[in-house]
């Protein structure tokens, strides 16, 4: 027991960064490297490079060459500090309290986790249990129901049919767009759905007769499929229609509770499916080869895409109903509106760095083309294919249930694009609200969201600051370690007993030891020069001092190039060309 206590006191257990995306939210809050003091930007994945037999060619290994990691860390630290300073100024009066919360949690893990959102509200199952208990209490009090099916059971049945409509509609859209090979009998499903809707109409005649009057006014054509038939819950009725027995106030409150629980459960399910999506796309991109395995992987992705579609529709429908219950005032609804751009995964920071490099290169080349057009007397194009911002007046499919799969994901299902629907890693990210919202209301929720974002921003600044310190210490120790090895080889040369061996063997051992000492001395000199030298852009030749060139045995010939002019192409590691480096002010020394 004493050993276990020592282990728990001295060791902090974490989950590697690329694995933690597949874990639950609780696991991410407790075992994330982003919240561990002193971890810097360690990803915890180093042990898997040898397992995958790619340690010698891994991108992370190549990035450690030269001074590139430290330069990148310094630049990222400056960017994070600038954003954090602005955020801190806006919340200056609350920062001391938030900072104290983080320090208390780091000192004692049993304290309140400042990175965790407080979940307020019940799940769907809990709300249904509460409503069932209320029905039992009414019966025990002698209040007889007006129908064999209680009011709460009526509302629950209506929402269940609504969910079945979404399921059938999603399958129909997937089949229409040829995005799935799943076997699904739409005719039988629609027949079953029609029977349930007919039974629901009999219940509506008892509890919400105004819904039947509204349905008659709609005059739906006979060709309307079952999943498109409006169910007309209490929230779909106007205040005038709900009066005079058109709909009881108790039903209205029941639907509000259930809709709030639907938003919460749909958001949790959506997060889980997005975690699964990230892993499936990663597996498909790195492991699937040839047509057979590629088709199987695509089928798995399509099935998961279907579930994401269902959960997003469920949230959108519940949110629209809550807005209707609030009298059309979206500000009074505790849940944000879900847009198609919000449905996105989290991304590894290495992928983010490569994407930013590609965007800078594309921007540089576009500017070059514009200058060439202007020089030729032509007018450059105004739009360069960049996505347009959503305006407030633009109609969005999130106002209710989107009509098609395309409306939900914007231009097509995300199964066809590996990078679509993916966002940044925690170290450099701007996260979608679906990963930070847990069901809060009004002012307390807004303050908690601000507190969580501030402590995460502070954690990012601290981790990058630690990474800079770690890398500086690594470079300092590199020269010290090389000097130590030089002295060790000199000691070995001096410790050779000349009389115990032949003259040739003695000279050979001494020569080898002296050569090794000289190699480590030259490596030490080179390490010190690289650490202190002025960084040059890619493609610019460095002129080494003559003394150093002689010591390390470099060719003093003035023409030491290979005579090959490098093409201006993108390499897989995201390096810049010389002109791009000068324009963007970025250096890459890997």
pLDDT of residue 57 exceeding 80, the answer is: no
Q: Tokens for 555, please give them.
A: 């060719």
pTM for this structure?
0.55
Least confident of 38-47, 228-237, 253-262, 396-405: 396-405
Buried b / exposed e along 282-297 (16+ C-beta atoms within 10 A): bebeeebeeeeeeeeb
Q: Look at residues 432, 427, 489 and name the one whose alpha carbon lies nearest to residue 459.
A: 427
pLDDT of residue 568 exceeding 50, the answer is: no
Q: What are phi and psi of 539, to 5 degrees?
A: 95, -10
Residue found under tokens 């076997």? 183
Taking the mean position of all CA atoms in its chain, how far away is CA 310? 20
Residue 405: band (very low, low, confident or very high) from pLDDT cuts 50, 70, 90: very low
Residue 346: band (very low, low, confident or very high) from pLDDT cuts 50, 70, 90: low
> Is 77 inside any structural domain?
no
**What pLDDT was estimated at residue 440?**
45
More confident site: 571 or 51:
51
544 and 526 in contact (C-beta within 8 Å)? Answer: no
Four-residue CA torsion sign, 305, 306, 312, 313: positive
Q: Mean pLDDT across the stretch 506-528?
A: 91
> Is 547 inside any structural domain?
yes
505 and 546 in contact (C-beta within 8 Å)? Answer: no
In total, the chain counts a number of residues equal to: 590
pLDDT of residue 190 exceeding 70, the answer is: yes
Residue found under tokens 């490569």? 354
> Is 532 inside any structural domain?
yes
**Chain segment 128-150, per-residue pLDDT in tens:** 888 888 888 877 777 777 778 88
> Is 544 inside any structural domain?
yes
Alpha carbons within 13 angstroms on the beta-carbon side of residue 338 total 30
Q: Mean pLDDT across the stretch 291-296?
A: 74
Q: Give, as one character, the DSSP assignment of residue 45.
A: -
> Is 515 inside any structural domain?
yes
> Is 540 inside any structural domain?
yes
Q: Look at residues 256, 265, 261, 402 and name the one whose alpha carbon lies nearest to residue 324.
A: 256
Strand partners, 32: 15
Q: Mean pLDDT across the stretch 461-488?
A: 91
33 and 459 in contact (C-beta within 8 Å)? Answer: no
347 and 423 in contact (C-beta within 8 Å)? Answer: yes
Query: How far apart are alpha carbons 113 and 25 in whole angstroms?
Result: 13
The domain total for the chain is 1
Tell me if residue 297 falls in helix, strand or coil: helix
**What pLDDT was estimated at residue 200?**
92
In percent, how much of the chain has pLDDT > 90?
Answer: 16
Query: Which contiguous run of DSSP H or E holds residue 130?
Result: helix 124-140
More confident site: 333 or 405:
333
CA-to-CA dists, residue 147 to 161, 275, 423, 430, angstroms: 19, 44, 51, 52
Q: Which domain holds residue 479?
A: 475-555+571-584
CA-to-CA dists, residue 152 to 215, 245, 278, angstroms: 22, 17, 38
Buried b / exposed e along 90-106 (16+ C-beta atoms within 10 A): eeeeebeebeebbeebe
> Is 543 inside any structural domain?
yes
**What pLDDT was estimated at residue 62?**
42
> Is 479 inside any structural domain?
yes
Q: Mean pLDDT across the stretch 11-28?
A: 80
């Amino acid at each position: 027991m004493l050993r276990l206590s020592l282990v728990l006191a001295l060791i902090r257990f974490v989950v590697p960064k690329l694995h933690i995306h597949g874990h639950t939210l609780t696991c991410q809050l407790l075992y994330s490297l982003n919240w561990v003091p002193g971890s810097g930007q360690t990803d915890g994945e180093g042990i898997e490079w040898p397992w995958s037999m790619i340690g010698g060619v891994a991108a992370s290994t190549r990035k450690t060459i030269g001074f590139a990691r430290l330069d990148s860390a310094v630049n990222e630290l400056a960017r994070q500090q600038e954003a954090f300073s602005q955020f801190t100024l806006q919340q200056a009066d609350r920062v001391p309290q938030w900072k104290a919360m983080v320090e208390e949690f780091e000192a004692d893990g049993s304290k309140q986790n400042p990175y965790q959102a407080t979940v307020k509200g019940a799940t769907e199952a809990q709300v249904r249990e509460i409503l069932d208990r209320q029905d039992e209490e009414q019966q025990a009090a002698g209040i007889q129901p007006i129908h064999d099916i209680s009011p709460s059971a009526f509302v629950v049945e209506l929402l269940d049919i609504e969910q079945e409509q979404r399921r059938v509609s999603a399958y129909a859209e997937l089949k229409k767009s040829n995005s799935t090979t799943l076997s699904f009998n739409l005719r039988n499903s629609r027949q079953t759905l029609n029977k349930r809707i007919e039974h629901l109409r009999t219940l509506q005649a008892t509890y919400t007769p105004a819904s039947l009057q509204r349905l008659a006014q709609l005059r739906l054509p006979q060709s309307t499929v079952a999943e498109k038939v409006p169910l007309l819950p209490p929230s779909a009725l106007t205040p005038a229609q709900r009066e005079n027995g058109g709909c009881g106030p108790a039903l209205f409150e029941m639907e509000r509770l259930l809709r709030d629980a639907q938003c919460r459960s749909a958001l949790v399910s959506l997060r889980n499916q997005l975690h699964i999506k990230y892993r499936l796309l990663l597996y498909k991109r790195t492991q699937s080869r040839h047509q057979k395995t590629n088709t199987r992987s695509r089928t798995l992705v399509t099935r998961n895409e279907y579930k994401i579609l269902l959960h997003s529709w469920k949230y959108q429908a519940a949110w629209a109903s809550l807005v209707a219950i609030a009298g059309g005032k979206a500000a009074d609804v505790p849940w944000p509106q879900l847009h198609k751009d919000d449905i996105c995964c989290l991304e590894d920071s290495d992928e983010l760095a490569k994407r930013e490099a590609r965007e800078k290169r594309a921007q540089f080349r576009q500017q070059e083309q514009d200058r060439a057009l202007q020089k030729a007397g032509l007018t450059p194009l105004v739009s360069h294919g960049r996505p347009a911002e959503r305006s407030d007046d633009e109609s969005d499919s999130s106002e209710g249930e989107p009509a098609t799969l395309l409306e939900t994901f914007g231009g097509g299902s995300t199964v066809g694009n590996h990078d679509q629907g993916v966002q940044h890693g925690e170290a450099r990210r701007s996260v979608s609200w679906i990963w930070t919202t847990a069901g809060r209301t009004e002012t307390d929720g807004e303050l908690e969201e601000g507190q969580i974002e501030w402590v995460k921003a502070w954690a990012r600044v601290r981790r990058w600051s630690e990474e800079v310190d770690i890398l500086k210490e690594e470079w300092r120790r590199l020269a010290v370690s090389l000097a130590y090895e030089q002295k060790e080889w000199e000691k070995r040369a001096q410790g050779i007993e000349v009389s115990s061996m032949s003259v040739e063997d003695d000279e050979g051992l001494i020569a080898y030891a002296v050569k090794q000492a000289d190699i480590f001395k030259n490596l030490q000199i080179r390490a010190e020069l690289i650490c202190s030298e002025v960084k040059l852009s890619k493609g610019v030749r460095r002129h080494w001092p003559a003394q150093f060139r002689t010591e390390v045995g470099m060719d003093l010939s003035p023409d030491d190039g290979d005579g090959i002019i490098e093409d201006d192409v993108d390499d897989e590691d995201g390096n810049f060309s010389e002109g791009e480096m000068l324009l963007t002010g970025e250096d890459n020394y890997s």
